[in-house]
Chain A
Amino acid sequence: GAGVSQSPRYKVAKRGQDVALRCDPISGHVSLFWYQQALGQGPEFLTYFQNEAQLDKSGLPSDRFFAERPEGSVSTLKIQRTQQEDSAVYLCASSLRDRRPSANTEAFFGQGTRLTVV
């Protein structure tokens, strides 16, 4: 497709269940980001990939959160033993690598996955 695709759009998980959220970035985009957006808040950075390399995972809230992008395209965010505080919208974004001086820094977002932990 032409845009960033995320699946599923909605996920309800029982507390303690493991979940996996998928992101298909725009073809050719080197950079991929995951954000967590709590209700009524702005997105908070979770992790960043450049191709298959996870260069920054400083935003992951706990070791229950794990992300991968093994072939430098599709990425999966996995949350183990979900807790109620994990309920949020998880946004994925991708962008071309910043090539200065003709920098293209726009990040294109998917529609997110709304995770509800009950």
Chain B
Amino acid sequence: AQTVTQSQPEMSVQEAETVTLSCTYDTSESDYYLFWYKQPPSRQMILVIRQEAYKQQNATENRFSVNFQKAAKSFSLKISDSQLGDAAMYFCAYRSAYNNNDMRFGAGTRLTVKP
């Protein structure tokens, strides 16, 4: 079974600085999708960035980028120029390309942004 591990329960970053959130996963599948979701206190999960496993190029969305290492099964999120509004829980998620309903989440990392 696929598992997702986020080893950092909490992280803190100074406003305008850069922070990296870690995520590793375990799977025997060759094709899958990886996601980072942000969950603010409102509880709504918001998609931050997505990576297809068959793409070698790392995904980038404005200040958010990933370091996808398929062989190492690692998928870290880098937030550049951190803003106060980035403070939230961040969840890494894995979704199988073969089984549409199989989406697994990590336990989350709580990010605090200090002014």
User: Footprint of B on A, CB under 8 Å?
Assistant: 31, 33, 35, 40-45, 48, 50, 55-56, 89, 91, 93, 97-98, 100, 103, 105-112, 114
Contacts and interface: CB of A to CB of B under 8 A. Distances in A.
B43 A42 contact: no
Contact of B44 (A41, A45, A107, A109): A109
Contacts of A91: 43, 45
A50 B45 contact: no
A117 B29 CA distance: 39
Contacts, number: 63
19 contacts: A31-B100, A33-B103, A41-B107, A43-B105, A50-B101, A56-B101, A89-B43, A98-B97, A103-B97, A105-B95, A106-B35, A106-B50, A107-B47, A108-B47, A109-B44, A109-B46, A111-B44, A112-B43, A114-B43
> Which of B37, B45, B50, B108 has the most C-beta atoms of chain A within 10 angstroms of its own C-beta?
B45
B68 interface: no
A42 B105 contact: yes
Nearest to B31: A100
B75 to A, nearest CB: 14
B42 A111 contact: yes
A43 B91 contact: yes
Contacts of A56: 101
